[in-house]
Chain A
Amino acid sequence: MRRATCLLSLVVLGLAACARLTDHVVLLPGPDGRTGALSVTAASGEMVLSEPYTGVDVAGGKVTRLSTSAAMVREAFGPLLDMQPPRPRFFVVHFEAGKDVLTPASRSLLANVGTELASLPAGEAVVIGHTDRMGAREFNDRLSLQRAELVRERLVGAGVPRDAISVAGRGEREPVVVTADEVAEPRNRRVDIKLR
């Protein structure tokens, strides 16, 4: 499975306070609790933020460190954060050996994915097909694309516009489970679906 795509969140606020222009920057933790780091460079120099809810004030080219909290950020930026687009969601469906035929469990999962995608505002899907290492590379390149295209057709059937879905096949290059060549591995016979 892929990790969450979020490395860090930050809030930038630039506002004219009194006659002087003051910028604020606040570093936020991601939904998984991990926080990235941020460098803030102004005329007077650079400051690095790496702790969640730390920030800086920038006024007259001067950078001043400031400390906030989850509650303060909620208070000041709640409506802004509520307008964030939905975070991407990831799904995996699996296939029968050597074919573009979904496993029974994946068939019902895919129906739910279609419903979820149709409910997203201006929803888009990125659909990437994969194979295990049975068979020639060229065969697997074709098969992985066929699998991705099958998923696209199902999503179109669920009411998603075709142009909102991008498909690609990566053949046997990106296994979930690394194997020797000519080894059958059900977990690698899959299509990764990202909704956003």
Chain B
Amino acid sequence: MVFGTVHANPDPEWRAICAYCVRSLLVLCLVSAVGAAEMELPAGRVKRSQGSVTVERAGQTRAVEVGTPVYVGDRVRTAADGAVGITLSDDTLLTAGPGSTLLINEFRFNTTTNDGNLLATLLKGTLSVVTGLIGKQAPQNVSFKTPTVVLGIRGTEFIIEARGDGE
């Protein structure tokens, strides 16, 4: 319709108006493209990195450095000389030692309500975890796996019950 108007009205003023409309449309398209790219926010960011550390995402392997974003589905690998510290957006701290493979299976976090869930798998190596806001708000939604075990975070109430069971 815009282009139709341009051809039908050779009047310079109309041309200017229509050029403006076309520019606006282009800007709108760009804005929505950026919006789509931002749909998937990173789950976290690499804060510390040592030696050789890579991330495998959608079949591609790239080197990791401080500031590299980490997304759901990423497989983070450290070489024999490598170690990496990642902070997720709910303040969970994940630190993997040398010779580790860590997979971020699931992560969802609502910064307003602190609702969300986290599942990560340590396929091999060592991992230190400091749980974050999801672990505080909904510990049952946080779990870690290795090939042989599943770890679940338990709330304060459960501590009391567990002690009772132990005796």
A contact set with B: CB distance below 8 Å: 5-15, 21, 23, 25, 30, 36-43, 48, 50, 58, 61, 63, 77, 79-81, 83-88, 120-122, 124, 126, 166, 168, 194, 196
Given contacts A50-B154, A196-B47, 4 further A-B contacts (CB under 8 A): A36-B135, A48-B162, A50-B163, A121-B47
Residues of A with C-beta under 8 A to B84: 83
Cβ-defined contact, A84 with B85, below 8 A:
yes
Interface size on B, as a range, is: 35 or more
* Distance to closest chain A CB from B156 (angstroms): 8
Q: Is the interface of B mostly helix, strand, loop or mixed?
A: strand
Among the listed stretches B13-21, B29-37, B55-63, B142-150, which one makes contact with chain A, having 4 or more residues with CB under 8 Å of it? B142-150
8 tightest Cβ-Cβ pairs between the two chains A and B: A85-B47, A122-B67, A37-B154, A85-B85, A48-B162, A80-B97, A39-B152, A85-B87
Contact of A14 among B129, B146, B155, B165 (CB under 8 A): B146
| Centre residue among B66, B130, B156, B163 by max chain A CB count within 10 A | B130
* Distance to closest chain A CB from B77 (angstroms): 14
Given contacts A6-B130, A80-B126, contact A41 B149 (CB under 8 A): yes
Residues of B with C-beta under 8 A to A37: 153-156, 158-159, 162
Residues of A with C-beta under 8 A to B163: 50
Given contacts A7-B131, A80-B128, contact A12 B83 (CB under 8 A): no
Query: Which residue of chain A has its CB nearest to the CB of B134?
Result: A7
Residues of B with C-beta under 8 A to A196: 47, 87, 91
B111 contacts partner chain A, Cβ-Cβ < 8 Å: yes
Residues of A with C-beta under 8 A to B46: 122
Q: Which residues of B from 96 to 154 have beta carbons under 8 Å from A?
A: 97, 111-112, 122-133, 135-136, 139, 144, 146-154
Cβ-defined contact, A7 with B85, below 8 A:
no
Cβ-defined contact, A8 with B153, below 8 A:
yes
Given contacts A79-B83, A83-B84, A122-B47, contact A38 B152 (CB under 8 A): yes
Contact of B48 among A41, A42, A43, A121 (CB under 8 A): A121
Q: How far is the CA of A12 from the CA of B144 in the complex (A)?
A: 9
Residues of A with C-beta under 8 A to B76: none
* Distance to closest chain A CB from B64 (angstroms): 11
Cβ-defined contact, A85 with B151, below 8 A:
no
Q: How far is the CA of A194 from the CA of B163 in the complex (A)?
A: 35
Cβ-defined contact, A80 with B135, below 8 A:
no
Cβ-defined contact, A10 with B83, below 8 A:
no
Residues of A with C-beta under 8 A to B127: 11-12
Cβ-defined contact, B151 with A10, below 8 A:
yes
* Distance to closest chain B CB from A145 (angstroms): 13
* Distance to closest chain B CB from A86 (angstroms): 7
Cβ-defined contact, A40 with B91, below 8 A:
no
Cβ-defined contact, A42 with B149, below 8 A:
yes
Given contacts A21-B147, A23-B146, A84-B85, contact A14 B135 (CB under 8 A): no
Given contacts A14-B146, A41-B150, A43-B148, contact A9 B128 (CB under 8 A): yes
